[in-house]
Structure 1
């Protein structure tokens, strides 16, 4: 069976460095934040082309703290997309604000800027675009709309480490950016992890306080904060991996290019790599009207797959109180019915890529 992802092969390729880094944290006893987290934050600041990075315990926490730092709270509205992992919308809900959905552009799977302005009300305080699957959202019109209406832009870049929009790294374009280092991400910790990026020193100061019980010095709490700190071991792991992230990204893009070429001319719809953006392929999501049957077919032919995501957030029971129904966001709903993620990771061997390609070409409903 071709695995959907293989985290062990990457670990084995850098095992000596990782083991040394982890043992160093154990010997230092700096288990929460500390010098390894600070060193990683410095590296990630340069990588994201931002001025400040604050490591936190999860990507969800990064979203939550970014919203709070931007002043989002009860009675406010935040515009985002329903075609995302539920954490994007849950973080809005945690603040007491109301998520307001805008449908996706079906070519990019990201929020459609042409539909944003119609969703703005006097209660709107922010736009939260999602760089889904490693594809950047169309940021220029989003930023222009936000500027015209006095809105904050918070980028959900949880799946888009190193992705670029017109030469700019995601996480540096909006007012704040949010990253996840969940193990399967393009830059993954060996446990949970996340980060907030910003060029705004006041936002940075607030996030630093909020992640550590609202204090700038111990036991002096100026804000009602949280225990959202990044652990030292995760900082050490991520610091090691920063040396390799660009090589891994280009390896992903090479696998994607091979899939693109091999599947051209078939009925399978491959991801659209837009010319002004650097897609980093957190997942390689194909589309087919017979998705569920195709998934079974691929499994029977020895290919593991995933679905990201089968139910858009506006139709999830957890957010039933928003009152949405099927048909409200047709492009998101169509994507949820049709997308199928095939094996994609930097170390995916060519012979296994060949098996994936052969199985897809043998798909009978071409």
Structure 2
């Protein structure tokens, strides 16, 4: 069986280093908010060329803490609107709702799966305070059009959801350092994945960083002094130590992902499948390799019968979920097409060339 994502094989490549890192923490006797966390925050901030990195429990917390910090700073208020891609994973939207803000769904482009700049401006109102730019599937969502739009509406905050795009670049700058602030998830399956849950916020704004850090520490920046009604959201020392190891290999792993994706694009030739074009290779670290098929469920079964595991990202769009019942009657045809037709192929740095060739052959034989 070719697994969609083989975490055991991925992490086995660095097993000795990971064991040493974990043992260093265990023998050191300090398990939270210690030197490993401080070192990872410094190293990840340097990797992104940003001033501040604040680790937290997971990617959803990172998004939630960012928006809460804007509210505490008086820069956003209940009911204010945040533009967000309609086809994103629901976490992006949950963070907006949890803070009493209003998510405004914007359709994506069918060729890039990213938020459509042409549709963004028509959604901006007097209550719009930010754009949550989600680098879906590992492709940078930022582009010249969005850059120009944000210059015209310079009061809007650019919040990056960088959960799927660690190491991705746009004009030699890394995602997670393009906007005013960014959220990161280090869920095990991510390009930079921990061996448990973990997340981070990155920004160049000192005041915003201080408030985010306090909010994730019960609302406190000084022991037993609470300036905000906060929460407990933090990474542990073992996860920080493991992430320090894996950060050293992120760029090489991304290059392997890009090589596999390039091979898929060049050699999958089946008129029943819509495969990304060569242009899709740019500014992309391929957390997910998506293709579209009108009979997606049949294709998934066909591949599984041939020993190829795939996933769907995502079977039900946010506006069709029960928790957002007030959106259920919305018509978002591009989002709905993606959610009905998208199938994700195996793509990770431990995938072998023979496995890639086998997957391509199976897809080309699909009828």
Shorter-chain TM-score bucket reads over 0.9
| Aligned with 1:217 (options 217, 222, 225) | 222
* Residue 66 of structure 1: how far off its partner (Å): 1.1
Q: Deviations over 1:206-246 (max 9, x none)?
A: 11111111111111111111111111111000001111111
Structure 1 segment 1-366 matched on structure 2, within 5 A? 1-71=1-71, 72-149=76-153, 150-264=155-269, 266-272=271-277, 274=279, 277-321=282-326, 323-326=327-330, 328-364=331-367
- For 1:169 and 1:60, the matched residues in 2 are separated by 21
- For 1:133 and 1:356, the matched residues in 2 are separated by 19
* Residue 12 of structure 1: how far off its partner (Å): 1.6
Q: Secondary structure at the match of 1:63?
A: helix
TM-score of the aligned structures, taking structure 2 as reference length: 0.95
Q: Secondary structure at the match of 2:221?
A: strand
Contact 1:266–1:361, Cα closer than 8 Å, also in 2: no
Q: Secondary structure at the match of 1:226?
A: coil
User: Which is worse superposed, 285-294 or 258-267?
Assistant: 258-267
Q: Secondary structure at the match of 1:179?
A: strand
Q: How many residues align?
A: 362
Q: Deviations over 1:32-75 (max 9, x none)?
A: 22110111111111211211111111000110111122234422
TM-score of the aligned structures, taking structure 1 as reference length: 0.95
Unmatched runs of 5 consecutive residues or more in structure 1: none
* Residue 181 of structure 1: how far off its partner (Å): 0.3
Contact 1:287–1:340, Cα closer than 8 Å, also in 2: yes
Closer/same/farther in 2, CA of residues 356 and 265 from structure 1, 3 Å limit = closer
Unmatched runs of 5 consecutive residues or more in structure 2: none
- What's the C-alpha RMSD, in Å, of the aligned pairs? 1.5
Q: Deviations over 1:132-158 (max 9, x none)?
A: 000111343334333433111101110
